[in-house]
């Protein structure tokens, strides 16, 4: 079995050395870059299974790296943020990161986050391969279409660029349209972890989806049910 390749972009040399040794014991190969510019070059020049991206770095910070990677870059990104800095967490998710982890973190928690993301990506890839051989690989509701074979999303035939995490959340909500889906359910089924108190990650991902649909849908498609979760509207509202 080929070992998973991880790109670590972080200017903390001591942390990088520890993570290289620890993750190697867990079956990963870690490539290190110590500034945003060289990290960005590596991300574009080589294929990685996951990017661990610190926020505060020289030359280019983590947010600038995320912006430069853009929507077309499909490698999942786990942001490493300052402990308690919610603004960094939210901004990273808004720019397309799949998840975040606050420093300092326990190495086992990092491993759990990495495995959760890779497991989710593996499931999506398997579903995509199966979809190529199935006639019902397209999920439709009203004027919204999700193509599971290509992970393409469109509304009124307008292509909408979404991240892998956003695609999975959207799929979950549409497959259960007309039903309230709790944040806990979304976190466990999509992010692969339990939702911790004051964790805004699901809210931010939902906000990203809403914002991307807004130019093409007349009214809100995803309704917030206060204290319960989210509901995908099923009527012909758009």
**Distances in whole angstroms, Cα of residue 191 to Cα of each of 32, 234, 235:** 25, 25, 28
pLDDT tens profile 49-105? 999 999 999 889 999 999 998 866 789 999 998 766 678 888 888 888 989 998 889
pLDDT computed for residue 191 by the predictor: 87
Which residues make beta-bridge pairs with 30?
6
CATH number, domain with residue 59 = 3.40.50.2300
Final residue of a structural domain among 76, 102, 123: 123
- In this prediction, residue 237 has a pLDDT band, given cuts at 50, 70 and 90, of very low
Radius of gyration of the chain (CA): 18
Residues 90 and 10 in one domain: yes
209 part of a folded domain? yes
Residues 163 and 205 in one domain: yes
pLDDT(42) > 90: yes
Say which residue, 185 or 143, is predicted with more confidence: 185
The range of the structural domain enclosing residue 74 comes to 4-123
CATH number, domain with residue 170 = 1.10.10.10
Residues 223 and 202 in one domain: yes
Question: Rounded CA gap, 34 and 58, in Å?
Answer: 8
pLDDT computed for residue 140 by the predictor: 85
Mean pLDDT of the chain: 86
11 part of a folded domain? yes
What is the arithmetic mean of pLDDT over 138-163?
Answer: 86
Say which residue, 182 or 138, is predicted with more confidence: 182
Residues 119 and 183 in one domain: no
């Amino acid at each position: 079995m080929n070992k998973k390749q991880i790109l670590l972009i972080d200017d903390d040399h001591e942390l990088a050395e520890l993570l290289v040794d620890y993750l190697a014991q867990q079956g990963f190969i870690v490539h290190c870059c110590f500034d945003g510019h060289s990290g960005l070059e590596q991300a574009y020049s080589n294929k990685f299974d996951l990017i661990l991206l610190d926020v505060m770095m020289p030359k280019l910070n983590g947010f600038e790296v995320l912006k430069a990677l853009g929507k077309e870059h499909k490698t999942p990104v786990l942001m490493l943020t300052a402990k308690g800095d919610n603004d960094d967490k939210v901004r990273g998710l808004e720019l397309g990161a799949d998840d975040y982890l606050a420093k300092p973190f326990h190495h086992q928690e990092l491993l759990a986050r990495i495995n959760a993301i890779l497991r989710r990506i593996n499931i999506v890839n398997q579903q995509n391969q199966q979809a190529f051989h199935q006639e019902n690989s397209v999920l439709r509701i009203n004027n919204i279409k999700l193509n599971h074979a290509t992970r393409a999303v469109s509304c009124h035939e307008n292509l909408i660029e979404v991240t892998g995490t956003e695609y999975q959340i959207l799929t979950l909500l549409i497959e259960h349209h007309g039903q309230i889906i709790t944040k806990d359910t979304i976190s466990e089924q999509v992010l692969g972890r339990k939702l911790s108190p004051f964790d805004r990650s699901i809210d931010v991902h939902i906000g990203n989806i809403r914002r991307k649909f807004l130019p093409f849908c007349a009214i809100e498609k995803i309704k917030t049910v206060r204290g319960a979760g989210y509901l995908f509207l099923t009527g012909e509202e758009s």
